[in-house]
Structure formats: C-alpha cells, structure tokens
Amino acid sequence: MISVISVVTVAVDVLSWLIIARVILSWVRHDPSHPLIRFVYEITEPILAPIRRVTPRNSIIDFSPLIAILILYFIQWGLIQIIR
C-alpha cells in the first residue's frame, strides 16, 4: 500500500514539474523540435488542453498550468485517501 502511495505521489510531482518546465519554456526562446522540449509538450498538453477550453481567454496570463497543478494535487489527495 505504501508503494502505491509513493507511485501516485511521484507521478503527480513529475507531472507538476513538467508543467512548471512548460511555463518556463513559454518565457524563453527554444527550439520546438528538440526531443526534450517535444516530450514536455506532449506530456503536458493532454492535461492543459481541457482546462484551456473551459477557462476564459480574455487575459494575458494563462492560468491553466496553475489550475492543472491544483487539480493534480487534489486528485493525489483523493487517491491517497481511497488507498488508505
């Protein structure tokens, strides 16, 4: 049971850091064809795209990464409660 909780925690942490990396990449010039950058975009896009569809687009700041991280930690908390 502890190992399942650890896997859930590590998965959420890795996804959160990849989302943060994507935010940082949006601030700097980068090569979108680089394999590492493509990996970050391919992993995070399925998480961010549905959130972008439901959040308003009238501001300069994209809040979807923040919302995604909050949702991921909420899911993590829920899964850990179910596992325990």
| Amino acid at site 41 | Y
Q: What does the domain layout of the chain look like in residue ranges?
A: 2-83
* pLDDT for 60: 83
Percent of the chain with pLDDT over 90: 83
Tens of pLDDT, residues 43-72: 999 999 999 999 887 778 889 999 999 999
Residue 84 has pLDDT above 90, yes or no: no
Residue reference for tokens 């919302």:
67
Assign 37 a pLDDT band (cuts: 50, 70, 90): very high
Name the 3-class secondary structure at 57. coil
Q: How far apart are CA 51 and CA 81, in angstroms?
A: 24
Q: How far apart are CA 33 and CA 58, in angstroms?
A: 29
